[in-house]
Amino acid sequence: MSVSRMRPSGRGAALITGGAGFIGTNLAHRILQGGRNVLLFDNLSRPGVERNLAWLQSVYGERVEFLEGDVRHRSALREVVRRADQVYHFAAQVAVTTSLEDPVHDFEVNVGGTLNLLEELRALSRPVPLVFTSTNKVYGALNHLRLRRDGTRYEPEEGALRNRGVNEDCPRDFHSPYGCSKGAADQYVLDYTRSFGLPTVVFRMSCIYGPHQFGTEDQGWVAHFLICALQDRPLTLYGDGLQVRDILFVEDLAEALVLAQAHMKHLAGQAFNMGGGPRNTISLLELLELIADIHGQTPPVCVTAWRIGDQRYYVSDTSKFEAGTGWAPRVGVREGVTRLYEWLVQARGRPRRRLLAGKGSS
């Protein structure tokens, strides 16, 4: 696929590293709709991202500028950083399994790449604000949580945790090389506000899903489950399937990212847990039930042992970010999963089996 390269233009653009990825594409769409141009920086290493880039360019034309590059190469970042007035940093090695296979690569991308970007921002004569996406994996496996089984899911015994989720005071406990690298990058980003006055915000994210996501077993599990169903391909459940996550539709995340930049003056130097919150939780088994309802059948399933650092329960307490910005998720689980299913059907040109309506959002 041919891609457009950078053209000279004035300042005022938003730079998105990893900009052709799932979240980058959706954020770019949101920003472009708001009238601002975007600079996309991506090495196009993840399957499917060329299609995302082509879609953005077909819709927005020259307002989308692209530079193929790698965050491990600081000189490549220098060109785009100098032309941005805000930065969103998504470029990363994103899978726990890959980090276990090659911890050095994981470190070089997630820590080294982030430090390269921070240093290029620090070198500027003007402050350019940065929003960085970290992960809930910085909190480790959360084995200290007292959980009980409730039908098809785990839930905390403690009422306050059931009602609100995990907040930012939870002790960090990096698990897996991926948890270590994202956690180290998370702390570097926050410290560059403290040590150098660079305006930064960190999102410690739960599970994000939505259109333009080409999910795999290692990352993007909601899309992965749906893709397996569409292809009638078997999927593997690690553990017992009762593990619970709060899932956030990507449009709601994009709005939160934009608000973080808009409120940077009083948010800078802080980390925020970001996800769907207690109102948007689902277990793996419950997602399979929802897929059966939407699609008409579930994919074949096999069950195997738990993976390293896999959390049995994680739900984000987003109240800190909500209080600072007025943000709240708008898309419920059923609506969001259905919209992703419909997008995957259209993107893959496959007929859907059966779509039921009238059950509302969960």
Residue 41: strand pairing partners: 17, 67
Given 60, 88, 154, 178, which residue is catalytic? 178
Q: What is the Cα–Cα distance from 242 to 232, expressed in whole angstroms?
A: 22
- Report the chain's mean pLDDT, rounded to a whole number: 92
Which of the pair, 310 or 260, is modelled with greater confidence? 260
Report, as an integer, the average pLDDT of 81-100.
94
> Which domains does the chain carry?
13-348 (3.40.50.720)
Contact 256, 328 (CB under 8 A): no
For the segment 10-39, what is each residue's pLDDT rounded down to a tens digit?
447 999 999 999 999 999 999 999 999 999
Q: Which amino acid is at 208?
A: I
Half-sphere exposure for 116 (CA within 13 Å, toward CB): 23
What's the token pair of residue 13?
Answer: 């653009």
pLDDT beyond 80 at 356: no
Helix (H) or strand (E) holding 293: helix 284-295
Percent of the chain with pLDDT over 90: 85
**Can you name the residues that pair with 17 across neighbouring β-strands?**
41, 89
- Can you tell me the mean pLDDT for 54-73? 96
Report how far apart, in Å, the C-alpha atoms of 286 and of each of 217, 308, 311 are.
Answer: 17, 22, 17
pLDDT, tens digit (0-9, with 9 covering 90-100), for 178-233: 999 999 999 999 999 999 999 999 999 999 999 999 877 777 899 999 999 999 99
State the Cα–Cα distance between residues 222 and 335, nearest whole angstrom: 13
- Rounded to 5°, angle at Cα 180 from 302 and 247: 50
Digit-coded pLDDT (tens) for 122-168: 999 999 999 999 999 999 999 999 999 999 999 999 999 999 999 99
- Active site (annotated) includes residue 341: no
